[in-house]
Structure 1
């Protein structure tokens, strides 16, 4: 069970553009972002960082930086979601169950 419930996607109108992008790319707005929106600047900063990290690199050094940045970006989300026990969205949960099978346990990230 999440320590903080996600807010509705329309709770902060200034984040509409950011949330539309995540909806377009992922097919949903992650609960982590819906929780972060309590401080809209964090979502805006995370969005800017995500765009910068995912910008295509064309040289080896740039690719190394891109790879490290991607690992760090998702490391941030890992820590955020673990600390707040963010509920796993339906799509990712179904993928985990399908790919990883019965041995997979989403633990605290699924409300019983």
Structure 2
């Protein structure tokens, strides 16, 4: 059960254009944004940053979604895990690859470039952060400096979202819960429940 209920969509007509984009890409509107919207400037800033980080630049969206999923797995935020399993699926990451994210270093499903980004995400999401120079050396073999900024931005964005959703106990929507349950064996919504 969430600590703060999300606002009804109808109460936020100023965001309808952005909300429609969420509907188109994800298939639903996240409760996290409807909760942030109790302070509209926070919701607006978040949606703008989310757009810039995940949907602009030259790093493939599928990789950024997997980086965000790994970040969420490392922090334990089941809400964000469900959402990022869904978005990985939207960007055509196969279920078996989603299921193998945590084992990216040994799984044959990942390229060396993907491994470098995913390992960085895992190490950066830990507390304390355990990123070292060799993680950036591995990235630099596959990505230019601007692309590395994109990857770190995705990790940092989910540092915010993981803290937000785990603290708020944001209620999980049925669609991402369904995808995560299928693509990530053993995944459960935990304190985020599932909105039916």
Scaled by the length of structure 1, the TM-score of the pair is 0.89
Q: Which runs of 5+ in 2 are unaligned?
A: 60-142
The offset of 1:47, in angstroms, is 1.4
Inter-partner Cα distance in structure 2 for 1:38 and 1:18: 16
Q: Indicate the residue corresponding to 1:94 in structure 2.
A: 178
Inter-partner Cα distance in structure 2 for 1:105 and 1:20: 28
Q: How many aligned positions are there?
A: 111
Note the alpha carbon deviations across 1:59-97, whole angstroms, 9 max, x for none.
Answer: 711100000111111221111100000011101111122
Kindly indicate whether structure 1 or structure 2 has the higher relative contact order, using CA contacts under 8 Å at least 6 residues apart.
Answer: 1
Query: RMSD over aligned Cα, in angstroms?
Result: 1.8
| Change over 3 Å in CA distance of 1:51–1:100 after alignment to 2 | closer
Q: Indicate the residue corresponding to 1:57 in structure 2.
A: 58
Q: Indicate the residue corresponding to 1:78 in structure 2.
A: 162
Contact kept in structure 2, 1:15 and 1:40, CA below 8 Å: no
Inter-partner Cα distance in structure 2 for 1:86 and 1:33: 10
Contact kept in structure 1, 2:173 and 2:194, CA below 8 Å: no
Q: Indicate the residue corresponding to 1:36 in structure 2.
A: 36
Inter-partner Cα distance in structure 2 for 1:91 and 1:17: 21
Runs of 4+ in 1 over 6 A off after TM superposition: none
Inter-partner Cα distance in structure 2 for 1:67 and 1:85: 26
Scaled by the length of structure 2, the TM-score of the pair is 0.53
